[in-house]
Copies of this chain bind each other. A is one copy, B any other.
Amino acid sequence: MKLHEYQSKFLFRDFGIPIPQGKVATSPNEAYDIAQELGGVVVVKAQVHVGGRGKAGGVKVAQNAEEAKRHAASILGMDIKGLAVERVLIDPGADIQQEVYLAITNDRGAGKPLIMTSMEGGMDIEELNRQRPDAIVREHVDPIMGLHDYQKTYIASAMGMPRAQWRSFGRILSGLYKCYSASDAELAEINPLVITGDGDLLAVDGKVIIDDNALFRQPALTERRDTSGEPDSERQAREAGITYIKLDGQIGCMVNGAGLAMTTMDMTKLYGDEDGIGPANFLDIGGGASPEQVAAALRIILSDENVKCVLFNIFGGITRCDEVANGILTAYNEVNPDVPMVIRLQGTNAAAGNRIISEAQIPHIISAETLTEAAQRAVAAVKERS
């Protein structure tokens, strides 16, 4: 779960990290009041869950409250990569001497938290990593012991942080590690961490992503979820306990198991790509899905107007194919899809499941024995209807 910039920075503040004294506005008038209160130059920043808002015109400097109001008016409601801007952060302008990059993330290969930091902050870390990988200091943290104080000295020294800032940088590093750790974050990033003309450090921009699997113990953070950037269908699926991701193709996929669901997508593309045909979604109904869940999943798939065919690929292991077949029939009767459905049931009780489907004598239903056959038939069905 992503936090907005303002949410991330307010969270940093809870862990003792200095941030600008800005506030969030949802209207130009509010922006005016905040800018007035702050006084001087302010920055008006769009709060959306996409990168590149600066290039899109979502970040603007204002010399006074009147200008802040005008900027807010132009940014609020702006469309950035398909997302409407609902909030702007009004931050006081900072006296930037130097921009530093500082982040803590999960290094999955090492199975440890990884601190990445560089005196060349401001730019995207992936960009920096491509251009000047040696400018990034990387330090693992022992997940059980946590961050040692001596590591802070090592990092500050290795990155070339001026000595005058070691102490305050160390405090921020401790604070960020505590924040990352206490919030079950996958990423806690300050970019830029600014050294001001007075030699102070200030987290001017921030990004935090929380591990979805840990939200059960993060009630305060869970409340802050902003689903405005999420497609309706994905939100509905999430609420129904189904993993669904909308894609651009024409073949709706309903599969049990994440790996097999990806594979099924891949097969539709393998056989359909030359005709511009591919998967309309990722969907994993999980093990032992009920007829109600199958129906809900089917409705979600069909809510996508691009879908020209639905492909069921169920490998019955513990799941019994006859039960899934009944679920499909129930769902079919409830949802009444007007697109063809390719059904491939394999594994436990596959014969019985296929018999149930064929005996139901439903038009638009196409059987398949192997995944290859199923994918090929789904592609053919889409071609027919195009």
Interface of A toward B, CB cutoff 8 Å: 144-145
* Beta-carbon nearest neighbor of A145 in chain B: B144
The 2 closest A-B pairs by CB, nearest first: A144-B144, A144-B145
* Beta-carbon nearest neighbor of A146 in chain B: B144
| 2 A–B contacts, CB within 8 A, in A order | A144-B144, A144-B145
* Beta-carbon nearest neighbor of A142 in chain B: B144
A217 to chain B, nearest CB (A): 14
Oligomer copy total: 2
Which of chain B's residues have a CB closer than 8 A to the CB of A144?
144-145
A143 to chain B, nearest CB (A): 11
Which of chain B's residues have a CB closer than 8 A to the CB of A145?
144
* Beta-carbon nearest neighbor of A144 in chain B: B144
Complex: how many Å from CA A145 to CA B144? 7
Complex: how many Å from CA A311 to CA B154? 50
Complex: how many Å from CA A145 to CA B145? 8
Complex: how many Å from CA A85 to CA B145? 45
Complex: how many Å from CA A50 to CA B223? 50
A78 to chain B, nearest CB (A): 48
Complex: how many Å from CA A194 to CA B229? 54
Complex: how many Å from CA A145 to CA B142? 12
Complex: how many Å from CA A288 to CA B144? 41
A142 to chain B, nearest CB (A): 10
Complex: how many Å from CA A347 to CA B25? 75
A89 to chain B, nearest CB (A): 35
Complex: how many Å from CA A318 to CA B171? 37
A41 to chain B, nearest CB (A): 40
A277 to chain B, nearest CB (A): 51
